[in-house]
């Protein structure tokens, strides 16, 4: 956490270096084309942001606040509307195999990996430049690239697919991540692990307190999340279009924090850069946070019009809802907890009526109401025991199990 005057505490989300590639017009400084300089990007609460620029001595600090076109009064500006209309999907051919590719967001995409031959290309204004041969994808996406569907009322197109993994005690645990694109919205991620699904999007580092150094818990938008796991995530398969310079084999330091049905995933990437970063840390670093919500497998299947057979997995249950006590997902909610509120109300009503009957001297009514209270307590107590067992199972393979569960092992 870094304190910036008039902005307060802010989280450093990126440490890297940049260079001027071109300059035009009147500027208050002499641009040094090609010269690399270090910078730090920070984010704070209330959409605040700041940049520390090390091109000057002492470093310059620039601050501001993120705003939308609507807030600027430009959403309906004819020039803006026309420019937005001109930006659309582009169809291109893979330079390696001539396979047809579609770039949904030419202005933002930086990498595209051909789903036919596995060639990875850099994207620059819709033009492709070959980078490397990744080989034919080893894992087939359950939801094909280009699929269109609707989740939580938003219409999406699947534009990218990653197969990632982590290793623990010599065992490799893989999962799948689908990059979803929707016009006029931020990118979304649809994550599948052992048949469990979560949907979410990136959140600003300013929305998270406890950031990069937290080991036990963080807070995001006022909600407390507890660490479930910490690991190194490796990219094993890359297919489709991405808004950053993704590489096969790249690793990040990841951590998952849960508050079912929600999860916040934190990723920290580090790379050795040029000499300009020696004034900061010698390495570039970027921190990103993604807020995800558990979504039923049946909703995913229905949203994309798929089932196991259509997806090419006739023997799987990837679109079948799962609820078991063997190993629930880290952010899978305990659905039976819905009984707690009505159960508590009924218990309070029974006690209230018993007190009134006692005040009126009706001993028989008091007795019947106490028996009713006892009968009502049975399903609630049973649900509490099931909930406890469910949480025990959820945290059984986590190194960050809450103390109140450990004491009962």
> Range with the lowest mean pLDDT among 42-51, 271-280, 357-366?
271-280
Rounded Cα distance, 302 and 244, in Å: 30
- Which residues face 176 on adjacent strands? 163, 192
Q: pLDDT tens digit string along 135-182?
A: 887 788 889 999 999 999 999 999 999 999 999 989 999 999 999 999
Give CA 306 to chain center in angstroms: 23
Q: Is the peptide bond before 380 cis (omega within 30 degrees of 0)?
A: no
CA-closest candidate to residue 142, choices 296, 299, 319, 303 = 319
pLDDT at position 18 over 50: yes
Provide the mean pLDDT of the chain: 83
CB 310 within 8 A of CB 380: no
Residues making up the chain, counted from first to last: 409
Q: How does strand 154-168 pair with strand 171-181?
A: antiparallel
pLDDT at position 315 over 50: no
The reported pTM is: 0.83
Backbone angles phi, psi at 182, to 5 degrees: -140, 130
% the chain with pLDDT above 90: 37
pLDDT at position 119 over 50: yes
pLDDT at position 285 over 60: yes
- In this structure, the number of other CB atoms found within 10 A of the CB of residue 29 comes to 8
Q: What is the dihedral of CA 318, 324, 325, 327, to 10 degrees?
A: 0
List all residues 6 or more positions away from 204 whose beta carbon is below 8 Å from its beta carbon: 43, 47, 66, 289
Rounded Cα distance, 363 and 385, in Å: 33
């Amino acid at each position: 956490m870094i304190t910036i005057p008039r902005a307060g505490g802010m989280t450093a989300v990126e440490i890297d270096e940049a260079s001027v590639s071109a300059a035009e017009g009147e500027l208050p400084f002499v641009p040094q084309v090609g010269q690399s300089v270090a910078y730090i990007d920070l984010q704070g609460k209330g959409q605040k942001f700041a940049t520390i620029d090390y091109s000057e001595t002492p470093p310059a600090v620039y601050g501001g606040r993120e705003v939308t076109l609507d807030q600027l009064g430009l959403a309906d500006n004819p020039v803006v509307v026309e420019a937005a209309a001109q930006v659309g999907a582009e169809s291109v051919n893979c330079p390696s195999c001539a396979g047809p590719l579609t770039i949904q967001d030419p202005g933002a995409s930086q990498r595209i990996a051909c789903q036919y031959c596995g060639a990875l290309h850099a994207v620059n204004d819709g033009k492709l430049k070959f980078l490397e041969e990744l080989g034919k994808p080893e894992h087939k996406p359950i939801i094909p690239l280009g699929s269109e569907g609707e989740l939580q009322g938003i219409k999406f197109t699947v534009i990218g697919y990653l197969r990632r993994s982590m290793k623990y005690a010599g065992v490799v645990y893989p999962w799948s991540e689908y990059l979803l694109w929707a016009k006029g919205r931020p990118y979304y991620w649809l994550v599948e692990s052992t048949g469990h699904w979560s949907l979410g999007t990136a959140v600003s580092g300013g929305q998270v307190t406890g950031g990069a150094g937290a080991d036990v818990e963080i807070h995001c938008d006022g909600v407390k999340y507890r660490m479930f796991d910490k690991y190194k995530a490796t990219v094993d398969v890359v297919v489709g279009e991405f808004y950053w310079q993704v590489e096969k084999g790249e690793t990040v330091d990841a951590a998952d924090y849960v508050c079912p049905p929600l999860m916040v995933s934190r990723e920290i990437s580090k790379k050795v850069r040029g000499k300009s970063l020696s004034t900061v840390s010698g390495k570039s670093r970027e921190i990103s946070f993604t807020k995800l919500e558990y979504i039923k497998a049946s909703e995913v299947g229905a949203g994309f019009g798929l089932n196991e057979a259509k997806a090419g997995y006739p023997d799987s249950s990837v679109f079948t809802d799962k609820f078991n006590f063997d190993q629930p997902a880290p952010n899978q909610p305990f659905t039976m907890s819905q009984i707690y509120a009505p159960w508590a109300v009924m218990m309070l009503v029974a006690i209230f009526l018993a007190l009134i009957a006692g005040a009126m001297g009706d001993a028989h009514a008091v007795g019947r109401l106490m028996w009713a209270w006892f009968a009502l307590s049975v399903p609630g107590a049973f649900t509490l025991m099931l909930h406890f067992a469910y949480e025990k199972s959820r945290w059984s393979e986590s190194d960050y199990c809450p103390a109140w569960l450990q004491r009962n092992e």
